[in-house]
Structure 1
Amino acid sequence: MNDRVSPAVLRLADLGFKAPAALLARYGLTLVRVPDGESIPGSYWGEAEAGIIGTCVYARADTPVHSLLHEACHLLVLPPERRASVHTDATDSIEEEDAACCLQILLADALPGVGGERLMADMDAWGYTFRLGSARAWFLDDAAEARAFLAARGLP
């Protein structure tokens, strides 16, 4: 994955930090704004991609919204007792990865000016890969296990 694939993806600069911070706070996470030009702590992918350490999600104004949501969702699908030990890489579980992808699409509807459809287009532009060819096809036709995983944990 690489945000250099498409500069047209929505970035935090496009919607600001207030709504994403409020969304994350509803789930017990903290959005930490990193000053422009500084390295993002806990970023797995580097560049402008969001980072995670414990219950904090780090991002800059140039961070893609899909990246912020994806990393936050990695923390949300983990049991709370595992979150505190997370630094940069939340999981190597395919089940948790799929659940994070599904949850980020669902949570995108809570952000004004984003929504699931736009987020899925940005996921495709960035280079997420799904066996059905697109985030939308996967979400609509192949995400039943991810949805069950989320439902079992009381997530939307």
Structure 2
Amino acid sequence: MVDHPAGATTLPGTDPADAVLRVGEIGFDEPRALLARYGLELVAIAGGEAIPGSFWGDSEAGIIGTTVYARADTPVHSLLHEACHLIVLPADKRAQVHTDATDSIEEEDATCYLQIVLAGELSGVGSARLMEDMDRWGYTYRLGSTRAWFEQDAEEARNFLRARGFLAD
């Protein structure tokens, strides 16, 4: 077995992305309440069913308007990422979203930063675990890891979020 920092394990030769935390492991109630604080609805999709509004398909979360769709096998980082795309958008733009939220690098960076912050509000997840899962899944940053980006290279994302009232000064 190969040990990962968060204690997750995978068999040698398997994809580390298989060790990411899934929504079914934490349940839908807490993420649903978190998203509701931002005016979003979380809809659970039955196993094996296609996820509406999923940009990447497979188990990845989907977004349509103010609704986030996920299954029990959806990675928590995916659910938070797609939700954060909607959170950072102005209300008038949210209503128009179907599957692809933005092509703005500034909004993408803010989304990545905010998903890490919000992970800290979910028991059983936390920001550290989410950053490890983001690395396992294949997010890439010029400093080599999600944590390095978050701690050392995300000033523009923080400024974006502060200017819109998502982070305190």
TM-score of the two chains, using structure 2 as the length reference: 0.89
Q: 2:32 aligns with which of 7, 21, 26?
A: 21
1:62: which partner in 2?
Answer: 73
Q: What residue ranges of structure 1 are gaps of 5+ in the alignment?
A: none
In the TM superposition, residue 132 of structure 1 has moved relative to its aligned partner by 0.7
What secondary structure, in the 3-state scheme, does the structure 2 residue paired with 1:6 have? Answer: helix
Letter in 1 for 2:161: L
- Which one of the candidate residues 37, 59, 68 is aligned to 1:48? 59
Bigger-Rg structure (1/2): 2
Percentage of identical aligned residues: 71
Determine whether 1:119 maps to 2:130. Answer: yes
Task: For 2:78 and 2:115, locate their aligned partners in 1 and report how far apart those are by CA, in whole Å.
Answer: 9
Distance 1:33 1:77 in 2: 22
Say whether 1:128 aligns with 2:139: yes
Structure 1 Cα separation of the partners of residues 140 and 56 of structure 2: 16
Aligned length: 153
What is the Cα deviation at residue 11 of structure 1? 0.3
Unpaired segments of 5 or more residues in structure 2? 1-14
For residues 16 and 80 of structure 1, do their structure 2 counterparts lie closer, same or farther at Cα, with a shift above 3 Å needed? same
Q: How does 1:72-91 map to 2 (within 5 A)?
A: 72-91=83-102
1:148 is aligned to 159
Cα offset, 1:106, TM superposition: 0.2
Task: Give the aligned residue type for 2:86.
Answer: L
CA RMSD of aligned residues (A): 0.8
TM-score, normalization by structure 1: 0.96
Counterpart in the other structure of 2:116 = 105
The answer on whether the counterparts of 1:10 and 1:65 sit within 8 Å (CA) in structure 2 is yes
Provide the rounded CA distance (Å) in 2 between the counterparts of 1:24 and 1:14: 18
Counterparts of 1:152 and 1:122, CA distance in 2: 28
Q: Which amino acid aligns with 1:112?
A: S
User: What does the per-residue CA deviation read over 1:15-73, in whole Å, with 9 as the maximum and x for residues that have no partner?
Assistant: 00000000000010000000110000000010000000000000000000000000000
CA drift of 1:5 comes to 5.2
Could you list the runs of 4 or more consecutive aligned residues of structure 1 that deviate by over 6 angstroms after TM superposition? Answer: none
For 2:103, which of 92, 102, 105 is the aligned residue? 92
Does the aligned pair in 2 maintain the 1:34–1:60 contact within 8 Å? Answer: yes
